[in-house]
Chains A and B, each alone.
Chain A
């Protein structure tokens, strides 16, 4: 009963958003999930219709509803292109919340929730994976029964996972790295992928902002942004994380809260206020204040006027750029390109469909790996077609997915974060 009330409350909260959808079908042109599944329940219009019927109470939170709602990458392309700005990504998250209330979290999402809610568990998990990962998942032939004994969807098959950092980024630096007086004070929200898998992205961010004289603050007690939990409907865990992050981020007076991860940026800037703020009015004003201060690293470097004045590297390199969904939906598309074009020795070659999702979609690629691969395949082909030596992007999640796709294509195109390119090209080594 309690869950039912909770669900109808959550759905009621989005009633006015649901009414905005006029079923015109424009979302059919932009939805990567619809492009692979090809059937209407996979597209935004269909999911909105199902949410409307859930609200009316004439369909159940059963397998068919679950299946439809799971087929969304939360990429937001439907929201961007919708003539009526229907926030289907948020609607899907609310529907997933209702599903998890009713049916309980899936085993996978429940595990995700436990891990992301607990930094020490995450650290332990990362350490364990670092030691055991190669043993279990790389050196084991695909045909081995051992793989079959560990049918973890996210490490199964041919998937390439980045090696884990020997020392997480958050353990490498002091909490406050003072800059020049009068220069901006930046609180850096690092994010799990950068912390555990791509610390080099964090190092590049640090180098670039220090180069500009900024004070960089890296709060030690920051947690996961919670987006993996959000995508599974586990909004209770996300609320806990949001509260912990608020405490960490509010501790210092800062001009900006900066992320170099599109996903974390999306969470702080958009999903926290829209999903958690609406459920927990006591947090709303604080979440809004954090959202207002949150900027993407490329956006901030562009704003602060990073110039190609010094150079660390020489060779001409052709690079292509992939727009992460959570930067594109915040209209951060021109700044990274301009920065890359401004870097010495960089030729920026646009790929076809640079603004299209890479297919990761948070946990989408766990449940719909084949579709995720199909989307990724188109992306890899577009990257390869440009003839670029490297693809740059602004999201470590995308970096993982792009690397996976390119390696499976047998491609040697390097995957890098925009900040890595800029740090290499603009700073004296």
Chain B
């Protein structure tokens, strides 16, 4: 519980209108997309880096926890105030400070919404490729803190690959800058890369310098339907093996297609067992050639149908198939666990087969879709929490799914992070020495453990032996 004195101090720092303690406000900053809820003691909306620094200095002196938060759209509870404390909302820091068309960089504040940033740079003929599914509402600060991915990652990489530098308030309240505006730079440790994906446990991001690319001239979208999951997976490796890197290679399995088809009748043929949504971008002539070549390459792999968009409207119609997946899932069961395992892309059919066996063993529906191009599969374990025993079954199934991904040289999270949701499983992937190294960094930067405490590392749980 925060004392009145601390609340008064917070009000002095950010202004009384930017500190909220009504129960209604606490409720509204106690959830995210995980279905978990923890109420903070106060919600603070700073308007500058200095205010963020002052809040953290106060937190260190008075020893209360601070939980940085962007749009609160995370899937692992990374911004949830477990145990109470102050939720530090960065959405007032929402300015695009500059877009430098000469050096192809931009400097932004963390509360800028991802899509707005993309639109602004595209107006200048530039391109910021990271495109998490939440891009219309998630913030760039959250994207960096969670190292967000997205469909275009197969060609362009994840958020981290576009972060050149950061301004960060350390847990102790010092303001530092990492990286910079140059593509090269080897002085000291690479703190930029350490902070990307650190889930708000090592510092509060207050400014970001992004690398930009020239906006590709055109793109071409193809919806390809295969008679087997192996055909679709083989198509991915065949295309890339033939030195074409599409912008996206989105995949949907049979269970997903059944879900979507049931509600929206998309005209997927009866013998369609898997779908691959392929997009290529670049020079207009080049993408025509690439699209033709892709069709030749995938034809012998059990291709049932190939729809190619002629214009932006048709492209949007094809993407709609992919976008309808999420709303359709709820027809299967009301509650879902959305996990985001990654395996080397050639292992996608293997991991799908293992998941099918897990599904049969536990008798709960599992729907798979995601980014086949980089082996990142969204595994949706669909349950009804009101049915006794289903949640326990789901947790057991999830542990086995993670293990299957790890056995195939994969990882248990490609883009959602650990947060609270994946803590119980972290020992499957990280060995004690790795965890110790990570915790030593945390201890060095946050000696009083005030910034986003209780996240990422399970409290009092043994990690896997070396």
Whether the Cβ atoms of B35 and A23 lie closer than 8 Å is yes
Q: CA A34 – CA B24 in complex, angstroms?
A: 16
Name the B residues within 8 Å of A38 (CB-CB): 91-92
> A41 contacts B28, CB within 8 Å?
yes
With most chain A CB atoms within 10 A of its CB, the pick from B28, B45, B92, B115 is: B28
Q: Is there an interface contact between A40 and B23, defined as CB atoms closer than 8 Å?
A: no
A385 to chain B, nearest CB (A): 14
Contact across chains for A41 and B73 when beta carbons are under 8 A apart:
no
Count contacts between A and B, CB distance < 8 Å: 71
Cβ contact within 8 Å between A25 and B22: no
Shortest Cβ gap from A70 to chain B (Å): 12
Contacts of A84 in B (CB 8 A): 327, 330
Q: Interface digits, B16-35 against A, CB 8 Å rule (1 contact, 0 not)?
A: 00001011110111011101
Closest residue of A by beta carbon distance from B91: A38
Q: Which of A24, A58, A67 contacts B33 (CB 8 A)?
A: A24
Interface size on B, residues (CB 8 A): 28
B129 within 8 A of A: no
In this assembly, does B293 line the interface, its C-beta being within 8 Å of a C-beta of chain A?
Answer: no
In chain A between 48 and 62, which residues have their CB closer than 8 angstroms to a CB of chain B? Answer: 49-50, 53, 58-59
Assuming the A-B contacts A38-B92, A64-B24, are A23 and B31 also in contact, with contact meaning beta carbons closer than 8 angstroms in the complex? yes
> Could you tell me if A49 and B27 are in contact, using CB atoms closer than 8 angstroms?
yes
Q: Contact string, B60-87, partner A, CB cutoff 8 A, digits 1/0?
A: 0000000000011100000000000000
With A59-B23, A64-B23, A65-B24 known to touch, is A39 a contact of B73 (CB < 8 Å)? no
Bound-state CA distance A39–B24 (Å) is 12
Which A residue's beta carbon lies closest to that of B138? A25
B254 part of interface (Cβ distance < 8 Å): no
Minimum CB–CB distance for B120 against chain A, Å: 14
How close is A363's CB to chain B, nearest CB, in angstroms? 21
Q: Does B326 contact A (CB under 8 A)?
A: yes
Contacts of A50 in B (CB 8 A): 24, 27-28
Which A10-57 residues have C-beta < 8 A from chain B? 19-20, 22-29, 38-41, 45-46, 49-50, 53
Find the A residue at minimum CB distance from B32: A23
B113 close to A (CB within 8 Å)? yes
Instruction: Return the CB mask of B236-254 against A: 1 if under 8 Å, else 0.
Output: 0000000000000000000
Q: Is A83's CB within 8 Å of the partner chain B?
A: yes
Q: How far is the CA of A19 from the CA of B384 in the complex (A)?
A: 12
Is B334 engaged at the interface, CB distance under 8 Å to the other chain?
A: yes
* Chain A CB within 8 A of B134 CB: yes
Contact of B327 among A41, A46, A85 (CB under 8 A): A85
Chain B residues near A207 (CB-CB < 8 A): none
Which residues of chain A are near B113, meaning CB under 8 Å?
Answer: 29
Q: Shortest CB–CB separation between residue A36 and chain B, in angstroms?
A: 13
Q: Could you say which of B24, B27, B28 has the most chain A C-beta atoms within 10 Å of its C-beta?
A: B24
Instruction: Please state if B72 and A25 are interface contacts (CB–CB under 8 Å).
Output: yes
Q: Which of chain A's residues have a CB closer than 8 A to the CB of B431?
A: none
> Chain A residues near B38 (CB, 8 Å)?
none
Asked whether A41 lies within 8 Å of B25 as measured between CB atoms, the reply is yes
In the bound assembly, the distance between CA atoms of A224 and B367 in angstroms comes to 49
A338 → chain B closest CB, angstroms: 16
Q: How far is the CB of B94 from chain A (nearest CB, A)?
A: 8
Name the residue among A28, A49, A59 with the largest chain B CB count within 10 angstroms.
A28
Smallest CB-CB separation from B111: which chain A residue?
A38
CB distance from A378 to the nearest CB of B (A): 14
- Kindly list chain A residues whose C-beta atoms are within 8 Å of the C-beta of B24: 41, 50, 59, 64-65, 67-68
Q: How far is the CA of A141 from the CA of B92 in the complex (A)?
A: 37
Q: Which residues of the other chain, B, contact A83 by a CB distance below 8 angstroms?
A: 326-327
Asked if A25 contacts B23 (CB within 8 A), the reply is no
What distance in Å separates the Cβ of B172 from its nearest Cβ neighbour in chain A?
Answer: 28
Contacts of B28 in A (CB 8 A): 39-41, 46, 49-50, 68
Chain B residues whose C-beta falls within 8 Å of the C-beta of A40 in the assembled complex: 25, 28-29, 72
User: Once the chains bind, are A29 and B27 in contact (CB under 8 Å)?
Assistant: no
Interface size class of A (residues with CB under 8 A): 20 to 34
A33–chain B nearest beta-carbon distance, Å: 13
- CB under 8 Å from chain B, chain A span 270-299: none
> A19-B334, A49-B27 known; A25 and B137 CB under 8 Å?
yes
B27 & A59 in contact (Cβ 8 Å cutoff): yes
Q: How far is the CA of A407 from the CA of B137 in the complex (A)?
A: 33
Given known contacts A83-B326, A84-B330, is B22 in contact with A64 (CB within 8 Å)? Answer: yes
Q: Which residues of A have CB within 8 Å of B115?
A: 29
Known contacts being A41-B25, A50-B27, A59-B24, is A26 close to B327, with CB within 8 Å? no
- Which of B23, B45, B92, B136 is within 8 Å of A29, CB to CB? B136
Q: How far is the CA of A45 from the CA of B113 in the complex (A)?
A: 17
Minimum distance in angstroms from B175 CB to a CB of chain A: 24
Q: Which residues of A contact B72 (CB under 8 A)?
A: 23, 25, 40
Alpha-carbon distance between A65 and B138 when the two chains are bound, in angstroms: 26
Rounded to whole Å, the gap between the CB of B332 and the closest CB of chain A is: 13
A59-97 near B? 1/0 per residue, CB < 8 Å: 100001101100000000000000111000000000000
Q: How far is the CA of A46 from the CA of B28 in the complex (A)?
A: 5
- Alpha-carbon distance A120/B248, docked complex (angstroms): 64
Closest to B323 in A: A83
The answer for the CA separation of A58 and B24 in the assembled complex, in Å, is 10
Q: Are A29 and B31 touching (Cβ within 8 A)?
A: no
Kindly state the separation between the CA atoms of A416 and B251 in the bound complex, as whole angstroms.
Answer: 48
> A23: which of B23, B33, B138 is its contact (CB, 8 Å)?
B33
Which residues from chain B contact A46 at a C-beta distance below 8 Å?
27-28
**Do B23 and A22 touch across chains, with their CB atoms under 8 A apart?**
no
Give the CA-CA distance A45 to B31 in the complex, in Å.
10
Residue of chain A at shortest CB distance from B325:
A83
B49 to chain A, nearest CB (A): 19
Cβ-closest chain A residue relative to B17: A39
Chain B residues near A20: list those with CB within 8 A. 330
Q: Is the CB of B31 within 8 A of A24?
A: no
A58 to B30, CA, bound (A): 14
Residues of B within 8 A of A19 (CB): 334
Measured between C-beta atoms, what is the minimum distance from B167 to chain A in Å? 22
Distance, CA A83 to CA B33, complexed state (A): 13
Which residues of chain B come closer than 8 Å to A65, judged between CB atoms? 24
| A83–B336 CA distance with the chains assembled, in angstroms | 14
Of chain A, the residue at the smallest CB distance from B94 is A38
Bound complex: CA A50 to CA B29 (Å): 11
Chain A residues with CB below 8 A from B92, complex form: 38
For A83, the closest partner residue in chain B by CB is: B327
B137 contacts A26, C-beta separation under 8 Å: yes
Q: In the complex the two chains form, what is the Cα distance from A22 to B337 in whole Å?
A: 12
Q: Distance in Å from the Cβ of B90 to the closest Cβ of chain A?
A: 12
Q: Residues of A contacting B134 with CB < 8 Å?
A: 24-26
Q: Closest 5 CB pairs between A and B?
A: A25-B73, A29-B136, A40-B28, A28-B137, A46-B28
Using A23-B32, A29-B137 as known contacts, list a sample of 10 further A-B pairs with CB atoms less than 8 Å apart, ordered by residue number in A.
A23-B33, A23-B35, A25-B71, A25-B73, A27-B137, A28-B137, A39-B25, A64-B23, A84-B330, A85-B327
Q: List 22 A-B contacts (CB under 8 A).
A: A23-B32, A25-B32, A25-B71, A25-B72, A25-B73, A25-B137, A26-B134, A28-B73, A29-B113, A29-B136, A38-B92, A39-B20, A39-B25, A40-B29, A41-B24, A41-B28, A50-B28, A59-B27, A64-B23, A67-B24, A83-B327, A84-B327
